[in-house]
Amino acid sequence: MSIINQTLRELDARAPDAAFPGASLRPVVAIPNRERGLWAAAGVLLALVGVGVWAMWKPAAPESKIPTGPMQRVAVSPAARPVASGAPPAAAPAPVPAPPVTAAAAKQPVAVAAPPAAGQPVTDAPANARTRPIQPAAPSGAAPTMKLSPFPDEPAPVIRKKVDQPTAEEIADERYRKAMTLVRNGMESEARPLLESAIELNPGHAAAREALAALLSEAGQNGEAEAVLRDGRAVAPDNARFALSLASLQAARGDMEGAAATLRSGIGGRGVDAGYHATLAAVLVRLKRYPEAARQYELALKQQPGQGTWWMGLGMSREAQGKADDARAAYRRALAAGDLPDALVNFVRAKLVE
């Protein structure tokens, strides 16, 4: 399996499987606050109207007549009537209930004449009498039978639904997932536009860049694949996977010095694992930089000690440095791993016989 196919397989394993989250609906209800104020104003208005009507309709006190002779009766006011000792006071007349007040009457001012001076007869109110609003009676405990509102045709509250739009990163993730589904189904040509679109929306989408570079390399477009990875390093210089993929393409076209420089520059980044150290070690062996190659193999084997090919590379690096015993020990570990291809098994066995 080529390095590019391995890259696609790793990306497919890391791809998220969760479906794209749908937009949430948040209803927003517009509640008119002025309706509560209108109800309060209507209650006060009704109270004022009731008080004014009661003042207008209050009956005068009845006159009492006391006989002064066989045929004469003198009208006196209740205040002048003598009260017999021990006699109970006369009961006050029951108040006349106020007539019902309509909405039209509640809104009209009523002329109220000023009280007459002492000793003057009561006459009809003059035409230019001062007017004032009727004071309504205090509302009873019964629910109001009408609604006084200056907005009789006010529409009902409107419920609006707000839809959250997906972000550019979320759209990029969705297109990446669709592209990987197409790759699994052997539809690489249809997957490439989706990956390009995902990168355009989210330039830092590392998985989309790696997948697109792998597809371009498989199609023989190594130059375009390297350009995609270089742009990725410019966007995310701390992502070591861009350096690893770019160095693999450089090594594939014979640029070992460029591959080694790319890998060294990414050592301190995110994603440096055992495979990263082993790739750098293999490039250094090709460049005949054996001490450094041995050191990188040792770092890789500390993380994954069961890799036979890495033990074989370590044996070759130690043998080139003249460390025969260390080389034989590494070759024996390579055979014990049991994962070497037949051609490499024969090579290692020959080294142990020497």
| Contacts with 72 (C-beta within 8 Å, 6 or more apart), sequence order | none
Alpha-carbon distance of 71 to 289, in angstroms, equals: 152
| Residues ≥6 apart with Cβ < 8 Å to 150 | 38
> pLDDT class for 110, splitting at 50, 70, 90?
very low
- Which CATH number characterizes residue 294's domain? 1.25.40.10
pLDDT bracket for residue 154 (50, 70, 90)? low
Residue 24 lies in a domain: no
Domain match, 151 and 169 both: no
Mark which of 231, 259, 287 sits at the end of a domain.
259
Residues 187, 244 within the same domain: yes
In a domain, 135, yes or no: yes
Is residue 79 in some structural domain?
A: no
- Of 49-63, 137-151, 211-225, 236-250, give the lowest mean pLDDT range: 49-63
Task: Please indicate, yes or no, if residue 72 is contained in any of the structural domains.
Answer: no
Is residue 290 assigned to a domain? yes
Instruction: Write the pLDDT tens digit of every residue in 57-93.
Output: 444 444 444 444 444 444 444 444 444 444 445 444 5
Distance of CA 176 to the CA centre of its chain: 22
DSSP one-letter string for 83-127: --TTPPPPPPPPPPPPPP--HHHHHS-EE-PPPPPTTPPP-PPPT
Does 252 map to a domain? yes
Residue 308 sits in the same domain as residue 278: yes
Average pLDDT, stretch 114-138? Answer: 52
pLDDT band at 132; cut points 50, 70, 90: low
Residues 322 and 251 in one domain: no
Residues 108 and 35 in one domain: yes
| Residue 52 forms part of a structural domain | yes
Q: Are residues 298 and 318 in the same domain?
A: yes
pLDDT in tens, 193-207: 999 999 999 999 999
Domain count, the chain: 3
Residues 46 and 146 in one domain: yes
Residues 36 and 151 in one domain: yes
Three-state DSSP at 154 gives coil
Specify the residue for token string 């006010």. 154
CB 262 within 8 A of CB 243: yes
> If we measure between CA atoms, which residue out of 16, 205, 257 comes closest to residue 213?
205
209, 235, 259 - which closes a domain: 259
pLDDT at 164: 81
Does residue 176 or residue 6 have the better pLDDT? Answer: 176
Q: Is residue 125 scored above 60 in pLDDT? A: no
Residue 282: which domain range?
Answer: 273-354
Query: Does residue 82 sit within a domain?
Result: no
Q: How far is Cα 117 from Cα 137, in angstroms, rounded to an integer? A: 28
Tokens of 229: 């990875």
Q: Is 205 exposed, middle or buried (0-12, 13-18, 19+ CB in 10 A)?
A: buried
Whether residue 236 sits in one domain with residue 170: yes
pLDDT of 297-348, one tens digit each?
Answer: 999 999 999 999 999 999 999 999 999 999 999 999 999 999 999 999 999 9
Last residue within a domain, chosen from 228, 259, 290 = 259
Q: What is the pLDDT of residue 34?
A: 41
* Long-range Cβ pairs for the range 251-259 (8 Å, 24+): 251/283, 251/286, 252/3, 252/222, 253/222, 256/283, 256/286, 256/287, 257/287, 259/283
Tell me: do 245 and 315 sit in the same domain.
Answer: no
Q: 292 with 350, same domain?
A: yes
Residues 154 and 106 in one domain: yes
- CA 222: distance to chain centroid? 41
Dihedral angle computed from the Cα positions of residues 176, 182, 187 and 190, in that order, rounded to the nearest 10 degrees: -40
